[in-house]
Amino acid sequence: MSYLLDANTLIEAKNRYYQMRFCPGYWTWLTRNKDAGRLASVESVSTELRRGNDELAQWVVTQSDLFLSESDETTQHAFAEIAAHVADQAATMKAGALEEFLSGADPWLIAKARVTGYIVVTHERLNMESRRKFLIPNVCSHYGVECINTFDMLNRLEARLVLAD
């Protein structure tokens, strides 16, 4: 199986439990699994992350091949279907939720997963009652796209982050 990473998985890792300074092994693990074809993300996530002025933005620049193009016809078509789906639900959501969702990387991530069969990795949780924002797991569920968190991915890929000393 292959996995598509949401921006929040990288941001949360960088800010908290896999900070680059004290856990470089995690970032090496990501690179190795990217090189093996097990991990990817999408260009929109790269764009979001490069807006920062931090070590994650610098790392993203060095990992350009992690981020898949969204310009292919099948991804574009899937994005259009997702946009129509969420637009149909916009009246039940908080004002601005549709615009916020469509202006970010989330629909592109879901579209790419839908056409590639990849599993989406995000820290968002399924909540069909959410009216505040469109959640990745909710939209993934509608399309039958599997959605898991970082720790489930690490377990499935049998990650071993072992102290070298």
Taking only the tens place, the pLDDT of each residue in 149-159 is: 999 999 999 99
Beta bridge partners, 67, equal 41
What CATH number does domain 3-156 carry, 3.40.1480.10, 3.40.50.1010, 3.30.1280.10, 1.10.10.10? 3.40.50.1010
Q: Which two tokens stand for residue 12?
A: 């949360």
Q: Dump pLDDT digits (tens) for 36-50.
A: 999 999 999 999 999
Instruction: Indicate the domain borders of the chain.
Output: 3-156
Q: Are 20 and 52 in contact (CB under 8 A)?
A: no
How do 67-68 and 119-121 pair as beta strands?
Answer: unpaired
DSSP tag of 125: -
Query: What pLDDT, on a 0 to 100 scale, did the predictor assign at position 63?
Result: 97
Token pair listed for 82: 């997702």
Q: What is the pLDDT of residues 97-136, one digit of tens each?
A: 999 999 999 999 999 999 999 999 999 998 778 888 999 9
Given a cut of 80, whether residue 164 has pLDDT beyond it is: no
Is the per-residue pLDDT at 163 higher than 90? no
pLDDT of 56 strictly over 90 = yes
Q: Report how far residue 45's alpha carbon sits from residue 39's, in angstroms, rounded to the nearest whole number.
A: 13
Distance between CA 79 and CA 58 in Å, rounded? 28
